[in-house]
Structure 1
Amino acid sequence: MFAGEYLCKVDEKGRFIVPSPLREQVETQGNSVVFLKGPEQSLWLYSMGEWEKVLERTKAALDEDQSRLFMHCIVSEAGTSEIDKAGRILIPGRLRKLIPVDEDQEIVLVGLYHRLEIWNPAEWRRYLSKTENRYEQHLSKILNLL
């Protein structure tokens, strides 16, 4: 399970070093990862093993029309990459444009159960600020689960 928030530098080629706790989890399911467009100018990153589980769940849950929409609108936009020997992952260029990297060349990785989200740091802060009221509304229920 992925958890935590990590600030990562992106090099001029669009690669970032995966923090070791996350890398170990990804590598248990192979060295390949899948990127998808996420909401709010973010990207979703799945290990290949988790992505295959998503595909199996969608096959079982969607009818033929829904499955075609899923394939046309989501799977066709996916990008793949490999973790190299230095522990870096290349964010595919067309998807990297969705999370504009600032001059400091940093991204935020956020662990969300079975996937990671990738954000521009300024967009991540804006998102947290924007959703703060919803968090406060649901805080007691969230804390009861802990």
Structure 2
Amino acid sequence: MFLGTYDYSIDSKGRLFIPAKLREGKALRQGKFIVTKGLEGCLYLYDSENFRNIVLSRLENMPVKNQQDARAFKRLLLSGAQDIELDDNGRIRIPRSLMDFAGLKKNVTILGVGQRIELWSSTKWEAYDRKAASAFQRLGKQLEI
């Protein structure tokens, strides 16, 4: 399970360091990831095993009435997906098209969000975090967490 918030910078060669804490899982020690477009303008980073077991499985069994929407979602998610690997120093190189999609320039906030990692422009993350605070409070009270 991926947890935590980390702030890093993309280096001059377009590489981003993935924190050691997020590289501890068995699948991640192999250094293989799938990166794709996420919701709210971030990128989703999955280890290859979770991508197959969770994402592809859910896509095949989508309980969606509007099949046109289902096809559009599947196309956008999978057509943007790319295999990437960690280098020997724990860095990844994010494809330019995905960096542009997420507005990643220099400062990146990396979130561990359960079964996936999210990559956010730090500026976008700060704005989202402020905006989502009321939902966090409301749902926290409902769930008594």
**Alpha-carbon distance between aligned partners in 2 of 1:128 and 1:57, rounded to the nearest angstrom:** 27
For residue 13 of structure 1, report the CA deviation from its aligned partner: 2.4
For residue 58 of structure 1, report the CA deviation from its aligned partner: 2.5
Aligned partner of 1:129 in structure 2 is: 130
Aligned partner of 2:18 in structure 1 is: 18
Aligned partner of 1:90 in structure 2 is: 93
What TM-score do you get using the length of structure 1 for normalisation? 0.83
**Alpha-carbon distance between aligned partners in 1 of 2:85 and 2:63, rounded to the nearest angstrom:** 29
For residue 117 of structure 1, report the CA deviation from its aligned partner: 0.7
For residue 115 of structure 1, report the CA deviation from its aligned partner: 0.2
For residue 78 of structure 1, report the CA deviation from its aligned partner: 0.9
Deviation readout 1:27-70 (Å, 9 max, x if unpaired): 24x3211111112221111111111112133224469x577545
* Structure 2: 5+ residue stretches without partners: none
Stretch deviating more after TM superposition (43-52 or 30-39): 30-39
Deviation readout 1:112-145 (Å, 9 max, x if unpaired): 1100111111110100111122222222134x24
Query: Are the equivalent residues in 1 in contact too, given 2:34–2:45 (CA < 8 A)?
Result: yes
Tell me the number of residue pairs that the alignment of Structure 1 and Structure 2 aligns: 140
**Alpha-carbon distance between aligned partners in 2 of 1:76 and 1:128, rounded to the nearest angstrom:** 28
**Alpha-carbon distance between aligned partners in 1 of 2:119 and 2:63, rounded to the nearest angstrom:** 27
Aligned partner of 2:48 in structure 1 is: 48
> Equivalent of 1:81, from 81, 84, 106?
84
The 1:137–1:68 alpha-carbon spacing in structure 2 relative to 1, beyond 3 Å, is closer
**Alpha-carbon distance between aligned partners in 1 of 2:89 and 2:137, rounded to the nearest angstrom:** 41
Identity %, equivalent residues: 29
